[in-house]
Structure formats: structure tokens, C-alpha cells
Amino acid sequence: METITTSRLILRAFKLSDAADEFEFASLDEVGFGAGFKPHQNIEETEKILARFIAQDEVWAIELKETGRVIGSIGLHPDRFREELNTKEIGYVLSPQYQKQGLMLEAVNAVIDFAFNKQNLSLLAANHFSFNEASRKVVLKAGFNYDGIIRRAKCLYDGTKVDLMIYSLDKKQYFSKESK
């Protein structure tokens, strides 16, 4: 996995030694619920998930340069709604104590650039649950277009049925915006 550096962040492959940092925020109810996963119950669970991230090679650790701590994750995954082979879906999570500082938008913009310039993808997808206002703001600020909603698209770990808001960003559209 290629390392991506921004002004405040290092997006890099996970290491098992990141488990304590990851567990600190992945064990929070608000983080798990907002991202659709059951909050981590113990450090061993986090270690197993990190081992899967490492094996799959599609999720970066978001490291804050200033402290060297992992404060979130961001990944490019197979697009589950489109059959086109040259698309991926971006997904991310950030520790609540680092939200509202523009850090996730910084990471998303770096991954968009990587996806279009290094992986030569033609389209990126993004989605979030209808109640996740923070994710909505990030995808819109990053230039994604709203495609629609899938009602009751997912049943969360606690039985809650949630709507999924769907977005996309076309490579040609992205580069035409950059040239303006």
C-alpha cells in the first residue's frame, strides 16, 4: 500500500502496533453506529480487524503527523452498487476528538487524487447513513454528487434499519472542476 502524505496527515498501511490507537475510537458507540459496525469490545477484536485490513490492503491508517497517533482510517473498496470494474467506493472513520478540523476532508481529497491519478479509476462512490451529517458534509465538500437514497438499506448490529445516501464523483468531472 502506497503511503500518502498531506500537510497534517500520513495515510499509511496499518500495523498491528496501531491497535491501541484504533481501539480508543473504534470502541466508542457513536463511531461504530455512525459507520455501521459494532463498537469493538476489546483490544483483541481490534487486532483481528487490523490483521484483516493489512491482508486486504485497501484501508489506510490516518496518522496525525503532529503526534504520530492513528486517529482514523480511510479505504478504497470494491463498489458494491456498480458493476463497472473501474470504480471504487471510499469509506472512512475518524475519532470524534479530531472531527470538525477539516482532517477528514484533507484525507478524502488525498485519496480522491490517488484514485484518479495513480489507480486511474473512472468513478468514485461514497455513501453514508441518512443521519450521519458529518459524512454528508465531507462528501459534498469533496465534490461528490448526490445520486439518491436507498431506503432501509442496512440493518445495524442493534437491529436499527437505516437509509443509505449514495454519491459519486466522475473523474472527468473532478478534473474539469480542478482546472477552473
Q: Integer distance in angstroms from the first to the last C-alpha of the chain?
A: 31
Q: What's residue 117's pLDDT?
A: 96
* Helices 43-56 and 19-26, axial angle in degrees (round to 10): 110
Q: How do residues 73-123 score in pLDDT, each as one tens digit?
A: 999 999 988 887 899 999 999 999 999 999 999 999 999 999 999 999 999
pTM assigned to the model: 0.93
Report how far residue 112's alpha carbon sits from residue 92's, in angstroms, rounded to the nearest whole number. Answer: 12
Q: What's residue 36's pLDDT?
A: 85
Q: What's residue 156's pLDDT?
A: 84
Q: What's residue 85's pLDDT?
A: 80
Spans of the chain below 70 pLDDT: 178-180
Q: What's residue 157's pLDDT?
A: 85
62 closest CA partner among 102, 3, 9: 9
Q: Which domain holds residue 55?
A: 4-178
73 in Cβ contact with 13 (< 8 Å): no
Helix locations, the chain, DSSP H: 19-26, 29-35, 43-56, 103-117, 133-141, 171-178
What CATH number is associated with residue 83? 3.40.630.30
How many domains are there within the chain? 1
Q: Which residues of 142-167 are buried (b: 16+ CB within 10 A; e: fewer)?
A: bbbeeeeeeeebeeeeeeeebebbbb
Q: What's residue 89's pLDDT?
A: 96
Q: Which residues of 84-107 are buried (b: 16+ CB within 10 A; e: fewer)?
A: eeebbbbbbbbbeebeeeebbebb
